[in-house]
Amino acid sequence: MTTITDRLAIAHSRIAQAAQNSSRRAEDVQLLAVSKTKPNEQIIQAYNAGQRRFGENYVQEGESKINTLNQEFPDIEWHFIGPLQSNKTKVVATLFDWMHTVDREKIAQRLNEQRPESMSPLNVCIQVNISQEANKSGVAACEVQALAEKIAQMPKLALRGLMAIPSADVDEQTATKEMAALQALYNQLAQGFASIDTLSVGMSNDLELAVAHGSTMVRIGSAIFGERDYSKA
Ligand SMILES: *Cc1c(COP(=O)(O)O)cnc(C)c1O
């Protein structure tokens, strides 16, 4: 049987290989373990194998996991990576370390207001809709700069970079085109903001392509924890 420890090691070696293929350093690509729908026992198994960054998609599920695990595992870094309604921002502002899916000023404003004074600024990425599909979340590429300027002025937010979910099930050429467009947008944005150091892109099935296009944080779920069963979530 393959364990979570085995699968984490495989994910790390995929990252290392992909980095090497692009003459990048493996340590410049962080691994975010996406634990949505998975029980706390599996998070602890990954923790015991050395994993410290975990990503959650759902406010309630994330809140319950953090409240249960925070005391015993205070060095876990929690990343919110799902869609967020503006009436749910408080949970993210008070419990998470990172928020990857900021896609409008209103959300940023609420997070900034609700982030407790006692906590360090919330690390945020702007989610960009790189595939330009109308039904996907994220801001259009042409709106990124304006939103970044707004966020950069919010004292309880730290603007760290961009996040994207490229189209799934497209041909290799389309996938490569999207990644290249994202990388260009990221490089351009990073020139204007010294705080930007994070390109959050790449999942179980496309981490190699993402690392080849400058990803600094891959978000890996099923390749570590196995397929998700949404019927039990
Ligand atoms: C679920 C999810 C992932 C992980 O996807 P896998 O294909 O299981 O690796 C990464 N990013 C986001 C935003 C997700 O919702």
Going from the first residue of the chain to its last (233 residues), give the mean pLDDT of each consecutive group of 10, the final group possibly shorter: 94 98 98 98 98 98 98 98 97 98 98 98 97 83 98 98 93 96 98 98 97 98 93 60
Q: Where are the beta strands (DSSP E) in the chain?
A: 30-34, 53-56, 77-80, 98-102, 122-127, 157-163, 198-200, 217-220
97 HSE (CA, 13 A, CB side): 13
Token pair recorded at residue 214 = 């400058």
Question: Strand (E) positions, 76-195?
Answer: 77-80, 98-102, 122-127, 157-163
What are residue 50's phi and psi, to 5 degrees?
A: 105, -5
CA distance 93 to 147: 18
Identify the pLDDT of residue 132.
72
Question: Which tokens is 8 given?
Answer: 């984490």
Q: Choose which residue among 32, 81, 102, 211 to substitute to test ligand 1 binding: the one with the highest number of ligand atoms within 8 A of its C-beta.
A: 81
Terminal-to-terminal C-alpha distance of the chain? 24
Ligand 1 midpoint to CA 43 (Å)? 15
Query: Residues near ligand 1 with C-beta < 6 Å?
Result: 34, 36, 57, 81, 165, 203-205, 219-223
How many whole angstroms from 34 Cα to the centroid of ligand 1? 6
Q: What local confidence, expressed as pLDDT, does residue 1 receive?
A: 73
d(CA 185, CA 187): 6
Rounded CA separation 114/127 (Å): 20
pLDDT of residue 229: 84
Pocket probe mutation, ligand 1, options 56, 58, 131, 203, max atoms within 8 Å of Cβ: 203
pLDDT of 232 reads 56
73: DSSP letter: -
Distance of CA 82 to the CA centre of its chain: 9
Closest-CA residue, ligand 1 atom 4, reads: 221
**Rounded CA separation 99/80 (Å):** 5
Ligand 1 centroid to residue 33 C-alpha, Å: 9
Ligand 1 atom 10: residue of nearest CA = 219
Confidence (pLDDT) at 5: 98
Residue 15 Cα to chain centre, angstroms: 16
- Give the number of the atom of ligand 1 that is nearest the alpha carbon of residue 205: 7
Q: Flag whether the pTM goes above 0.95.
A: yes
Q: How far is the CA of 117 from the centre of ligand 1 (A)?
A: 31
By alpha-carbon position, which residue is closest to atom 13 of ligand 1? Answer: 81
Residue with CA closest to ligand 1 atom 6? 221
Contacts within 8 Å (CB) and 24+ apart, 127-133: 127/100, 127/101, 127/102, 127/103, 127/162, 127/163, 127/164, 127/165, 128/162, 128/163, 128/164, 128/182, 128/185, 129/164, 130/164, 130/166, 130/178, 130/181, 130/182, 130/185, 131/166, 131/167, 131/178, 133/167
